[in-house]
Structure 1
Amino acid sequence: MNIHVQASAGHIGRVRGVDLADPLFWQLPRPERLAAFALLRRLDTPMRFGEGTGSSRSAGKGFYALVKYADVREASRLPRHFASAPGVTTPEPAAWAKAVFGNSMVNMDGAEHATMRRIVSHAFTPRLLAAAEADVREVAGRVVDKMIAQRPHDFVASVASRMSFDVICNLMGVPERYRTEIAHRVDHASENIGVKRGVRARFRVPGRGLRALAHMQLVMAKLARERRRNPTDDLISALVCADVDGQALSSRQLGAFFSLLLVAGVETTRNAMAHGLALLTEHPEQCALLASEFDKYADGAMEEIVRHSTPIIQFRRTVVGECTLGGRVFVPGEKVVLFYTSANRDETVFANPDAFDITRNPNPHLGYGGGGPHYCLGSHLARQEMKALFHELLTRPRDLRAVGIPDLVDSNFDNRVRALPFTFSTGADPDLPPPRHKTVQPKA
């Protein structure tokens, strides 16, 4: 795929050879995709891709790509013009799926979204948040204990996934007896979220994904009934027993929220952790700086990891009110896609944007969204998880590093790492701290 800008007199024209609606584009190496976005940012107005790219602007299934930082940020904060409904992903969720499984908060607008977010926010009491912070540190210690004892080869499966999944399940109060099955179902539901899939996968995966969602809905409905009868100090109890203007989450709403947490709270955080290890390996001087004074540089390092990797590539919006953005007039019915991966490399905001610099300041990245009503509720928890894990990784094992490059999934939605080989040493180092937690051996 040959990519270049076609210039006209005094004006940047179309970028030839770039089609963000073509699955082949998302199978290009990531550096080539980022270079294409850099060219798109040079255009005067957002470019349209997909069906209906001719004179009929609202026809077909095309969309306008918002690739500049200012445009993505502004669209995020104008829900009266750019709506999340009927869906922020591609394809948009079917109406019958919402009726059966419940609608996700990310697809809601207005009063409906405000009510859901108010109920969820009310459930995060100071007591629950304090317990979560302590649990994050405990989980990080246990995960690294097990890593040192078992010496696994894949960082994603054995460390990043384990960390983020256990934190969310502990927060929600999911009993251990359900976790293995839920993790298995999550893998089945999300393993083909990318764009590279065969004909058989296109026919089979949706059914497998729906079965996984149905199973998780049944588990959450059962837990909701148990917690209503016998509340405990967990998020499920807080959500189903909440009384915010006389409202609490129904079992179906709880299932939809749990499914969202598994993507937003597990998938994105584990991907950020995996990219973090790869970046620190690729830039040993940055790793050494972070390790030298972790408390001083940790916050900046976690923000830079998220900016540089941008775990969520894009969300889409539907135009519901005529407005002007990025030099173009948008009319109701049109679709726009907010490309966070491009906004976080915008040269007008970030100096030397392709560099990985843990001292970057300021770093107003859009890795958790562009602000507005849909700013990520779990951003604080994600930051805590990353800091706790990397603190353990950089202070306990020696010479920990990725081996080779991350195995990335071809996806137009998330910057997913399928696997990341890694290595470390412990040896008989007298300065190496002993295990901080008792490692629980699996039952035979």
Structure 2
Amino acid sequence: MAHNRHHLLLLLLAVFAAAVSAHNITAILESDPNYSQFNSYLSQTKLADEINSRTTITVLAIPNSAFSSITQNHPLPVIKNLLSLLVLLDYFDPTKLHKITDGTTLTTTLYQTTGNAEGNIGSVNITDIRGGKVAFGSAVPGSKLASTYTKSVKQIPYNISVLEISAPIIAPGILTAPAPSSSLNITALLEKAGCKTFASLIVSNGVIKTFQSTADKGLTIFAPSDEAFKAKGVPDLSKLTNAEIVSLLQYHAAAKYLPVGSLKTSKDAISTLATNGAGKYDLTVSVAGDSVTLHTGVDSSRVADTVLDSTPLSIYTVDSVLLPTELFGKSPSPAPAPEPASAPSPTPASAPSPAEAPSPLPASPPAPAGDVPAGAPSDAPSAEAERSGTSPKSASVRVEASFAVLTFTVAALCAVVFPTVFMS
């Protein structure tokens, strides 16, 4: 019975892990060819990554017949803005649509998170109108409710909901094509975001030209704040060669468009503009909730804020200067445990001859558990190692304790869900 319960717990853990795993908007839509254009542009604009990285979201899908005029007449940055207005940062299923308090509500969209939306242009008005219909429009006062809910596509309560609407939501000015990325004043954007030191360095060292020439093809900049350059441990740039300073600055940018959603779903190392045959100069990413952290191998830095997200250019501020291992070495690794002290070999003068060598002594019985005889080898865990939690024994205790807590929690859950199984 205990063996069966153990297998049941493992099965429930697997089911639970699958239940909380990320959804895939591309997979949801690809089964219906009526959404092929909509689905394709979600991938091209990287919005699919953003949708997949969030746990509470509603996607307003548009069929090809209503979407083709948009794709034919507007460039990719405009299409992305339009699509961003169709991704609601809340969960709405058909039931909730028809039970809106007071019949109308405003909800925030992904467009509001790009840094391009002013006022409430990044919000959508949802109104339950007469005849059982639900209408959608821009939240900007005076905007028409020109789109209506037509049907449900897919719901995973309360994770993701996909609803079909009749037409795109057009906010004032959203169809205006943004300026090309290469013509944007990157230094002005950085200075306004509190990154004046970084902006000055990329100008004085000529790196701004590299940024500008790369921007139209895809560029992501991780700009350290002014406070980051004042932090303890930041190297003295005056002691670096010009080539090393250029590599350090180029290390803060990647030659690809990486909105927040793409960073959150990134599993591979990110190559930077400093990457060359002599070194990787790459970054890795970890995610905790909505927090994104970049790791260099020497230090790490949180992505603090989005300065600009406009396909194909994204600019972020980071809390720390990113230090590549190629210039500043790896993080110091823990010192290895000392080798057991070996007895000195007898000198030839004092070594006994074979005839005088004493008979070998019988082996000593093993010491009782818990007793450490004096002169024990130094590879035994020290008291300091036990206190710091670095010894194998303490690590084992932590693992066993963690597993015990996890097992108890799941067992308690299972006892509630399947009482008859656990009472048998």
Structure number with the bigger relative contact order (C-alpha 8 A, sep ≥ 6) is 1
**Do they superpose with TM above 0.5?**
no
TM tier, smaller: under 0.3
* TM-score after normalising by structure 1: 0.20
More helix by share: 1
* TM-score after normalising by structure 2: 0.20
More strand by share: 2
> Max radius of gyration: which structure?
2
